Chain A
Amino acid sequence: MSSVKYLILRRVVQLSILFLYFGANYYGWKMLSGDLSSSSILGTVPLSDPYAVLQMFVAGAVISSNLLLGAVIILLFYGIFGGRAFCSWVCPVNIITDAANWTRRKFGFDMVAKKQPSSRKLRYWVLLISLVISYFLGIGAFEFISPISMVHRGLIFGMGFGWATMAILYLFDLFVLKNGWCGHICPLGGFYSIIGKFRLLKIKHDSVACTGCMNCKVVCPEVQVLHMIDKVSIPVTSGECTNCGRCIDVCEDNALGFFLKVKNGDNKGEINNEKNE
């Protein structure tokens, strides 16, 4: 049965995190202060964006132990557990690009411009170039232009012309390139794709139950990761999967679901066990 369970859950998580940051500034809360670049839980546990810290390191900054610890915590969390879950469960830009995708589907823009003239490998190039520029200009290159930062900082500390950034992201994804920002360009997404390759939380697929309706491929923002649909019962292994769970939502045949790969075992067995229950 099609549902919006994970969609709603994701929006709740995204907005709650933003609201905690906002409250830390405007109401003086201590639970989660700072922003997505670096923050502090209850004023003690540091969290830092490992990609930002990497750029700073390449730029030649002295990395404080606080930042390093924060980056390691985040790195471990997404590297071991969530993979690109940051993109779909935390990042506020996801709301904008999802909206653009929704508009595409709703009004049929997908039918007008079917061809996607760009490679999804682009983000790894952007990632590489950001490090090269960071090195030569001695400054975190992506942090300086990041629309993610503009949007979330804007929501927490004051927007300025940040609304224009939001509009640009929306229009770009709507009219220029499908999944343009999150699925092609964003080097932070590329970064988490790389470190999330060996994550534990994955999507599993049961090709026996699958009827091949392809609903999942319609909504998936990283459709290339779903190559096994209706073919083989293997989990989604690509690091580019954002673990958004939208495919699970729209699957009417119970052929998709989250699973936690705790033991290094046979992935197929995992699915069979579930079917027997």
Chain B
Amino acid sequence: MNHKQKKVKSYRQPLNESRRAFLGTTRNVGLAILGGLTWSAYIDEAKANRLLLRPPGALKEDDFLKTCIKCGLCVDACRNRNGNIIYDDKGKRVGTKDPTLRLAAPGDNKPLGTPYFIARENPCFMCDDIPCVPVCPSGALDLVSLTNKKSKKLDINKAKMGLAVVHKESCIAYWGLQCDACYRACPLLGKALTIDMQMNKRTGKHAFLLPVVHSDICTGCGLCEKACVVEKAAIFVLPREIAMGRVGTHYVKGWSQKDQQRVGEAKEIHTVTKRSQKKAIDKLNNLGDLLDE
């Protein structure tokens, strides 16, 4: 009993100065780590959203996220662009249509405050004067990437906002119906989007008029997605990183002189593993495996 009481008492003794300071500092540092980790965890999850389309000239997503200051000047410019303002009969401004660009608000589940657009609802109309880009104060929307090197003029056709992708099964052109809505809507029709004519073997006398997207020219404006007539668009724009594959360096086009040059630059990589130490023919000479049992 006596012993127990003593022990309880010792806990109640006032802390000495240095111990108090030590505990205080430890607590502060601990709380800072707690807060910092929680905060980081949220940001890491939130910035991982890769499925959104950025305005023309946007830097690569990682660079874009760190460079965009979220001021919304591009949205201002997009809303007040030529052709988006509604005038009454007397030529007085009465309002605007909704802009293509919007800033991610809470609830949009996108990196907060950054500009994006949803092509099916409001695609990019590829204005010649590209009002959204020159106003960007931070360079997150890069004017140089949209400037023609020779003429020094703005060229919206250089934009790479995304890449249109066709889902064959829901595209009625692949059923054999005549629909070229996306092709007609494409601002670069005949270049970014072409029609591939194939024979319809089912009927034997009709043609398939199939939309084909060319990734080197497609800007990802989304006018095709907006125009698509089926319930959920069969042609839709994805960020290029997601829509495009990558061959890597192992394959070379033997028929292309330019691509062949890569072979000349290639260096031999000699990897040594346990298996490669032996020669292939050793396998034949080794009867150990066969003679077992």
By a beta-carbon cutoff of 8 Å, the part of chain A in contact with chain B is 24-28, 33-35, 37-40, 43, 46, 48-49, 52-53, 56, 59-64, 66-67, 70, 125-126, 128-130, 132-133, 136-141, 143-145, 149-150, 153-154, 156-162, 164-165
List A contacts of B85 (CB < 8 A): 28
B40 touches A37 (CB 8 A): no
Min CB distance B136 to A, Å, is 9
B105 touches A159 (CB 8 A): yes
Instruction: Verify if B75 is at the interface (C-beta below 8 Å from A).
Output: yes
Complex CA distance for A37 and B28, rounded to whole angstroms: 30
Min CB distance A139 to B, Å, is 5
Complex CA distance for A125 and B69, rounded to whole angstroms: 23
B36 touches A160 (CB 8 A): no
List B contacts of A34 (CB < 8 A): 71-73, 76, 137
Complex CA distance for A37 and B66, rounded to whole angstroms: 14
CB < 8 Å: which of B36, B63, B106, B137 contacts A61? Answer: B63
Min CB distance B94 to A, Å, is 10
CB < 8 Å: which of A26, A66, A145 contacts B138? Answer: A66
A158 touches B105 (CB 8 A): yes
List A contacts of B107 (CB < 8 A): 160-162
Residue of B nearest to A52 (CB): B69
Complex CA distance for A189 and B103, rounded to whole angstroms: 24
Complex CA distance for A39 and B70, rounded to whole angstroms: 10
Complex CA distance for A52 and B69, rounded to whole angstroms: 7
Known: A37-B71, A139-B66. A66 touches B137 (CB 8 A): yes
A28 touches B66 (CB 8 A): no
Complex CA distance for A230 and B244, rounded to whole angstroms: 71
CB < 8 Å: which of A35, A139, A153 contacts B105? Answer: A153
CB < 8 Å: which of B32, B40, B44, B72 contacts A153? Answer: B72
Interface range for B:
35 or more
B36 touches A129 (CB 8 A): yes
The interface-forming segment of B108-116, B145-153, B207-215, B234-242 is: B108-116
Known: A62-B67, A153-B70, A161-B105. A67 touches B137 (CB 8 A): yes
List B contacts of A143 (CB < 8 A): 69-70, 113
Per-residue A-contact encoding for B271-286, CB less than 8 Å = 1, 0 else: 0000000000000000
List B contacts of A33 (CB < 8 A): 73, 76
Instruction: Verify if B39 is at the interface (C-beta below 8 Å from A).
Output: yes
List B contacts of A49 (CB < 8 A): 69
List B contacts of A67 (CB < 8 A): 69, 137-138
Min CB distance A151 to B, Å, is 10
- Would you list 22 pairs from A and B whose C-beta atoms are within 8 A, ordered by A residue? A25-B76, A25-B80, A28-B85, A34-B76, A37-B113, A38-B137, A40-B73, A56-B69, A56-B138, A59-B66, A61-B63, A66-B137, A66-B139, A67-B69, A129-B35, A130-B39, A132-B36, A144-B113, A149-B70, A149-B112, A150-B113, A158-B102
List A contacts of B76 (CB < 8 A): 24-25, 33-34
What 15 new A-B contacts, CB under 8 Å, besides A38-B137, A160-B107? A25-B76, A28-B93, A37-B70, A40-B137, A52-B70, A56-B67, A61-B138, A63-B138, A126-B35, A129-B39, A137-B40, A139-B47, A141-B40, A143-B70, A149-B112
Complex CA distance for A48 and B70, rounded to whole angstroms: 11
Instruction: Verify if B255 is at the interface (C-beta below 8 Å from A).
Output: no
Instruction: Verify if B135 is at the interface (C-beta below 8 Å from A).
Output: yes
Residue of B nearest to A34 (CB): B71
List A contacts of B252 (CB < 8 A): none
Instruction: Verify if B46 is at the interface (C-beta below 8 Å from A).
Output: yes
Instruction: Verify if B62 is at the interface (C-beta below 8 Å from A).
Output: yes
Residue of A nearest to B31 (CB): A125
Known: A66-B137, A136-B40. A144 touches B111 (CB 8 A): yes
Segment 48-85 of B: residues with Cβ below 8 Å from A: 62-63, 65-67, 69-73, 75-76, 79-80, 85
A40 touches B135 (CB 8 A): yes
CB < 8 Å: which of B36, B102, B105, B112 contacts A144? Answer: B112
List A contacts of B75 (CB < 8 A): 25, 157
B66 touches A70 (CB 8 A): no
Known: A38-B69, A160-B105. A137 touches B35 (CB 8 A): no
